[in-house]
Chains A and B, each alone.
Chain A
Amino acid sequence: MSLSLTYEGVGKTFDPSGKNPVRALDNVSFRIEPGELFCLLGPSGCGKTTLLRCTAGLESITGGKIFYGDRDVTSIPPFRRNIGMVFQSFALYPHMSVYENVAYGLRVRKVPEAQVRVKVTEMMELVGLPDVLKRNPSPTALSGGQQQRVAVARALVYDPEILLLDEPLANLDAKLRRHMRAEIRRIQKITNITTIFVTHDQEEAMAIGDRLAVLRHGVVEQIGTSDQLYHNPESAFVANFIGKMNFFHGRVSATTNDSVTVETAVKGVAVTASGEKVRIHGDRALGREVLIGARPEQLSISRTKDPHGLPGTVSIIQHLGQFVRYEVQTEGGIAERALEVDVDHLIPDLNEGDPVFVRIDEKNAGVYDSEGER
Chain B
Amino acid sequence: MSKAVIDTKESWIERILKKDWTPYVVFAIPLIFLSIFLFWPLVTTLLRAFLGPGFAMNFENLGTENFSRFFTSRLYQRSLRNSLIIGFAVVVTTAFIGIPMGYCVARVKMPFKNLLLSLGILPIIMPSFIGAFSWIILLGRQGVVRLFLNTFLTPLGIEIPSIYGLFGIIFTMSLALYPFVFLLSYGAFSSANPLLEEAAMMMGSSRWRIMRTITLPLVIPSLGASAILVFIRSIGNFGIPAILGGEQYVLPTLIYFRVNGFWDLNGAAAIATVSIFITGGMLLLQKFVISRREYETISASRSEHKLHTHWAARLFATLYCGIVLLLSMAPNIAIIIMSFFERWRGPYPEGFTWNNYLRIPQVISSEIFNSLYLAVSASIITAVLGCLIAYIVERRRPKGAIILDLAVMAPFILPGIVVSVALLSAFSSGSILALGGTYTIIIISFTIRRTPYVFRSVVASLSQLDETLEESSMISGANWVYTFRRVSLPLIMPGILAGTILTFATLLQELSTTVLLYSARTRTVPIQIFAAVQDGFFGEGAAMSVMLLVTVFIVVYIMNRMLGRSVSSSFKLG
A residues apposed to B, CB below 8 Å: 8, 56, 58, 65, 67, 70, 72, 75-85, 87, 89-95, 104-105, 108-109, 139-140, 144, 147, 154-155, 158, 171
Across the interface, which residues of A come within 8 angstroms of B486, CB to CB?
A: 104
Tell me how far the C-beta of A72 lies from the nearest C-beta in chain B, rounded to whole angstroms.
Answer: 5
Shortest beta-carbon distance from B347 to chain A in Å? 60
Per the bound structure, the CA–CA distance linking A93 and B574 in Å amounts to 12
Whether the pair B475, A93 counts as a contact (CB closer than 8 A) is no
From the candidates A90, A95, A109, name the one contacting B477 in the complex (CB within 8 A).
A109
25 contacts between A and B (CB under 8 A): A8-B3, A65-B3, A65-B7, A67-B3, A70-B2, A72-B3, A77-B474, A78-B475, A79-B479, A85-B475, A89-B466, A89-B573, A90-B573, A91-B469, A91-B471, A91-B573, A105-B476, A105-B477, A108-B476, A108-B478, A140-B574, A144-B574, A147-B573, A154-B472, A155-B476
Residues of A within 8 A of B479 (CB): 77, 79
Known: A67-B3, A72-B7, A92-B573. A82 touches B477 (CB 8 A): yes
List, in ascending order, chain B residues with CB within 8 A of A76's CB.
Answer: 18
User: Are A95 and B466 in contact, CB atoms less than 8 angstroms apart?
Assistant: no
| Closest 5 pairs (CB-CB, A-B) | A105-B476, A91-B468, A91-B472, A85-B475, A78-B474
A89 touches B6 (CB 8 A): no
A56 touching B482 in the complex, CB below 8 Å, given contacts A89-B574, A93-B487: no
Q: How far is the CB of B20 from chain A (nearest CB, A)?
A: 5
A171 to B574, CA, bound (A): 9
Closest to B477 in A: A108
A140 CA to B473 CA in the complex, in Å?
A: 18
Tell me whether B475 and A83 are in contact (CB under 8 A): yes
B7 with A94: CB separation less than 8 A: no
A contact residues around B292 at 8 Å (CB): none
Are the CB atoms of A75 and B18 closer together than 8 Å?
Answer: yes
Determine if B214 is an interface residue (Cβ-Cβ < 8 Å): no
CB distance A85 to B472 under 8 Å?
A: yes
Task: Give chain A residues whose Cβ lies under 8 Å from the Cβ of B407.
Answer: none
- Contact yes or no, A95 B491, CB < 8 A: yes
A158–B18 Cα distance when bound, in Å, is 23
Partner pick for A139 among B468, B473, B571, B573, CB 8 A cutoff:
B573
Complex: A104 Cα to B20 Cα, angstroms: 21
Contact check: which of A85, A90, A109 meets B574 at CB < 8 Å? Answer: A90
In the assembled complex, the Cα of A144 lies from the Cα of B468 at a distance in Å of: 17
Q: With A and B bound together, what is the CA distance between A91 and B466 in angstroms?
A: 8
8 A Cβ contacts from B448-485 to A:
466, 468-469, 471-480, 482
Tell me whether B565 is interfacial, beta carbon within 8 Å: no
Q: Which residues of A contact B574 (CB under 8 A)?
A: 89-90, 140, 144, 147, 171
Residue in B closest to A88 when the chains form the complex, CB atoms: B468
Q: Contact between A94 and B571 (Cβ–Cβ < 8 Å)?
A: yes
Q: What is the CA–CA distance of A164 and B409 in the complex, to the nearest angstrom?
A: 40
- Give every chain B residue within 8 A of A140 (Cβ-Cβ): 573-574
Tell me if B471 and A58 are in contact (CB < 8 A). yes
Q: Does B490 contact A (CB under 8 A)?
A: yes
Task: Give the distance in Å from the alpha carbon of A204 to the alpha carbon of B15 in the complex.
Answer: 41
B561 interfacial contact with A, CB 8 Å: no
Q: Which residues of A lie under 8 Å from residue B7 when comparing CB positions?
A: 65, 72
Query: Interface 1/0s, chain B 488-508, versus A by CB < 8 A?
Result: 001100000000000000000
Given contact pairs A72-B6, A75-B18, A89-B573, A94 touches B475 in the complex (Cβ within 8 A): no
A81, A85, A154: most-surrounded residue (chain B CB, <10 A): A85
Considering the chains assembled together, what is the distance between the CA atoms of A75 and B19 in angstroms?
7
Give bound CA distance, A84 to B3, whole Å: 24
Residues of B within 8 A of A67 (CB): 3
Most chain-A Cβ atoms within 10 A of its Cβ — which of B18, B474, B476? B476
Bound-state Cα–Cα, A19 to B464, Å? 27
Cα distance A78–B478 when bound, in Å? 9
**Cα–Cα, bound, A64→B268 (Å):** 59
Residues 304-316 of chain B, each 1 if its beta carbon lies under 8 Å from chain A, else 0: 0000000000000
Residues of chain A within 8 A of B473, CB atoms compared? 93, 104, 108
List, in ascending order, chain B residues with CB within 8 A of A85's CB: 471-472, 475
Tell me which residues across on chain A come within 8 A of B477, comparing CB atoms: 79-80, 82, 105, 108-109, 158
Q: Which of A75, A77, A78 contacts B15 (CB 8 A)?
A: A75
A79: B residues at CB distance < 8 A: 474-480
A132, chain B: closest CB distance, angstroms: 16
Alpha-carbon gap, A15 to B571, bound state (A): 29
Residues of chain B in range 28-54 having any CB-CB distance to chain A below 8 Å: none
Highest count of chain B CB atoms <10 Å: which of A67, A77, A80, A82: A77
Seed contacts A75-B19, A83-B475, A90-B573; 17 additional CB < 8 Å A-B pairs: A56-B475, A58-B471, A70-B6, A76-B18, A77-B20, A77-B474, A77-B479, A79-B480, A80-B477, A89-B574, A91-B471, A92-B573, A94-B571, A95-B490, A104-B478, A108-B476, A108-B477
Q: Which residue of B lies closest to A77 (CB)?
A: B20
The chain A residue with its CB closest to the CB of B475 is A85
Chain A positions within 8 Å of B19 at CB level: 75
- Other-chain contact of A154, B468, B476, B487, B490 (Cβ < 8 Å): B476
CB-based nearest B residue for A95: B490
- Considering the chains assembled together, what is the distance between the CA atoms of A140 and B474 in angstroms? 21
**Bound complex: CA of A95 vs CA of B476, how far in Å?**
17
* Chain B residues near A8 (CB-CB < 8 A): 3
The residue among B3, B6, B15, B571 with the most chain A CB atoms within 10 A of its own CB is B3
Are A89 and B468 touching (Cβ within 8 A)? yes
Interface pair A70/B3, CB less than 8 Å apart: yes
A75 to B16, CA, bound (A): 10
Report the minimal beta-carbon distance from A73 to chain B, rounded to whole angstroms: 11
Residues of B close to A144: CB separation below 8 A = 574
Most buried by A among B2, B6, B491, B573: B573
Chain B residues in 8 Å Cβ range of A77: 20, 474, 479
Bound Cα distance A147, B573 (Å): 10
Chain A's closest residue to B19 (CB) is: A75
Given contacts A75-B19, A140-B573, contact A58 B487 (CB under 8 A): no
Chain A hits for B18, CB < 8 A: 75-76
Most buried by B among A8, A104, A139: A104
For A81, the chain B residues whose CB sits under 8 A away are: 475
Whether B476 contacts A104 by the Cβ 8 Å rule is yes
CA–CA, A84 to B6, complex, Å? 26
B402 to nearest A CB, angstroms?
A: 14
Contact residues in B for A92 (Cβ distance below 8 Å) = 573
- Which residues of chain B are near A94, meaning CB under 8 Å? 491, 571-573
Q: A70-B3, A90-B573, A139-B573 are in contact. Are A158 and B476 (CB under 8 A)?
A: yes
Least Cβ distance of B482 to chain A in Å? Answer: 6
Chain B residues near A90 (CB-CB < 8 A):
573-574
Contacting residues of chain B (511-548) with chain A, CB-CB under 8 angstroms: none
Residue of A nearest to B470 (CB): A91
User: Among the interface residues A82, A108, A155, which one has the most CB atoms of the partner chain B within 10 A?
Assistant: A108
Which residues of the other chain, B, contact A108 by a CB distance below 8 angstroms?
A: 473, 476-478, 482
With A and B bound together, what is the CA distance between A147 and B477 in angstroms? 21
Please name all residues of chain B whose beta carbon is closer than 8 Å to the beta carbon of A154 when the two chains form the complex: 472, 476
